[in-house]
Amino acid sequence: MLLRGGRVIDPSSGLDDECDVLIEDGRIAEIGRDLDGQEAFDCTGFLVVPGLIDLHVHGYQYATPLGIDVDHYCLGRGVTTAVDAGSAGASTLLGLRKYVIEKCSTRLLAFLNIAQHGLASAGCVQAGRGGELDSLNQVSTDACIDGISSNRDIVVGVKIRLAEDVADGGRNEVEAYRRAILAARNCGVPIMTHHAFSSIPVTGQSSEVLSCPGSLARGDIYTHCFHGFSSCIVDPHTGHIDSGVWEAKQRGVLFDIGHGMGSFNWTVAEICAKSGFWPDTVSTDLHTDSQAGPAYDLPTVMSKMLCVGMPLNEILRSVTSTPAFAIGWQDRIGSLKVGREADVTVLSLESCHLYIEDCQAQQRLLKQKFVPKAVWRAGRRGFLTEPEVLPNQDRVPELAKSWTNAVVRDAIAPITVTEDK
């Protein structure tokens, strides 16, 4: 297969040029001009990039309330590698491997939940609903370490959700967090933290007080970085990014979007953009409550970041080489280097006129959007899918209910906008 005449951008090598990409025997065989191939795909006017990587999804379909059809929403939207963010714990990982990872065409990896049962009975974090950390009997450092050690081929880190409502009203948060950090450090893998409506402060008063991202180390991942609720990275009193967040970024903590149903706020994103605080990785947190909006898919979340001014090449870096590095797979994925497995995504950047919602129904006008045109996973072409409705205005009234809970938000309550007037 010859991918001919596209703008080939590979952030891992600095390549940004109009050329051809030749795929042979499932691998990148050659990159250059005027190459020959038995079969060609015309990429003129398109972007040819390494297969997209979504660092935060929930793919344990049917076994958890949040699980999606990974091939439909990931590979079908140009994502060749997705990482499940804690759907499975040590006691349920084997099912994720056998019934999802081994059967789907998307490469699916996993962060292992510190709770042994993972999210088998827990959905989105909601007030009073309870969750996976309600009992510390299910939070085992040893079980997590054993789960990682026995499954290094698929497990890339530890996941914990820091939120009062999934941790017995916050009573178990500190101890569960401590155990998760211990497991990650023991195995030499990153910890990914969900941190919203949490009793854990952003910055601790001393090194002995656990905070988030204050207690995270270089290479750890702070997901949901643009949510606007309590525990936000933006100080609601000053409207500025918390100084502890800047310190964490400077020491190498990675900040991830993790859009989901509640964790992308246009106001927060614009404050961060004005300060030059770009996420290291752009991800969807795709699950059953975000797949039909407000996240939709990775190209849509990438389009939102383009809307707030994130440079094109930095967006592409955030969904290719950086997430590959974050999970220690930089020698295998996230690059178009010759000899690598041929994970390739072809995108068009199209003009549009779409008012699109964030997680609190605040809307902004998209003037450009990324649209997948073709995808190859290990040299095999995948089938593309499209959102049924984009944007999905039916979601707006439901999302607007959470606007009053945001501590950082637009000055005016959201309304449904269908056209530019």
Stretch 289-297: mean pLDDT, rounded? Answer: 97
In a domain, 255, yes or no: yes
Q: Verify that 228 and 372 share a domain, yes or no.
A: no
Provide the residue count of the chain.
421
- Specify the pLDDT at position 418: 45
Query: How many domains does the chain divide into?
Result: 2
Q: Verify that 191 and 263 share a domain, yes or no.
A: yes
- Specify the pLDDT at position 419: 39
In a domain, 31, yes or no: yes
In a domain, 58, yes or no: yes
Q: Verify that 208 and 174 share a domain, yes or no.
A: yes
> What pLDDT, in 10s, does the model give residues 182-239?
999 999 999 999 999 999 999 877 778 999 999 999 999 999 999 999 999 999 999 9
In a domain, 185, yes or no: yes
Copy the structure tokens of residue 74: 């990931």
In a domain, 403, yes or no: no
Burial of 121 (0-12, 13-18, 19+ CB in 10 A): exposed
Q: Verify that 62 and 185 share a domain, yes or no.
A: yes
Stretch 84-100: mean pLDDT, rounded? Answer: 98
Q: Verify that 118 and 165 share a domain, yes or no.
A: yes
Copy the structure tokens of residue 420: 């530019």
Confidence band (pLDDT; 50, 70, 90) for 287? very high
Q: Verify that 56 and 29 share a domain, yes or no.
A: no
Tokens 């770009």, located at residue: 278
Mean of the per-residue pLDDT values for the chain?
Answer: 95
Residue 300, pLDDT above cutoff 80: yes
Q: Verify that 97 and 169 share a domain, yes or no.
A: yes
In a domain, 413, yes or no: no
- Specify the pLDDT at position 37: 82
Q: Verify that 174 and 247 share a domain, yes or no.
A: yes
259 close to 285: Cβ distance less than 8 angstroms: yes
- Specify the pLDDT at position 416: 54
Q: Verify that 60 and 37 share a domain, yes or no.
A: no
Q: Domain holding 261: CATH number?
A: 3.20.20.140
Q: Verify that 78 and 203 share a domain, yes or no.
A: yes
Q: Verify that 92 and 203 share a domain, yes or no.
A: yes
> What pLDDT, in 10s, does the model give residues 231-267?
999 999 999 999 999 999 999 999 999 999 999 999 9
Report CA dihedral (296, 299, 302, 306) to the nearest 10 degrees. -110
Q: Domain holding 20: CATH number?
A: 2.30.40.10
C-alpha Rg value of the chain to the nearest Å: 20
- Specify the pLDDT at position 129: 83
> What pLDDT, in 10s, does the model give residues 40-78?
999 999 999 999 999 999 999 999 999 999 999 999 999
CB atoms within 10 A of CB 146: 14
Listing DSSP states for 13-50 in one string gives: TTEEEEEEEEEETTEEEEEESS---SSEEE-TTSEEEE
Q: Verify that 134 and 207 share a domain, yes or no.
A: yes
In a domain, 128, yes or no: yes
297 close to 387: Cβ distance less than 8 angstroms: yes
In a domain, 172, yes or no: yes
Percent with pLDDT over 70 in the chain? 98
- Provide the domain limits for residue 36: 2-48+344-350+366-395
> What pLDDT, in 10s, does the model give residues 364-420?
999 999 999 999 999 999 999 999 999 999 999 999 999 999 999 999 988 754 434
- Specify the pLDDT at position 92: 98
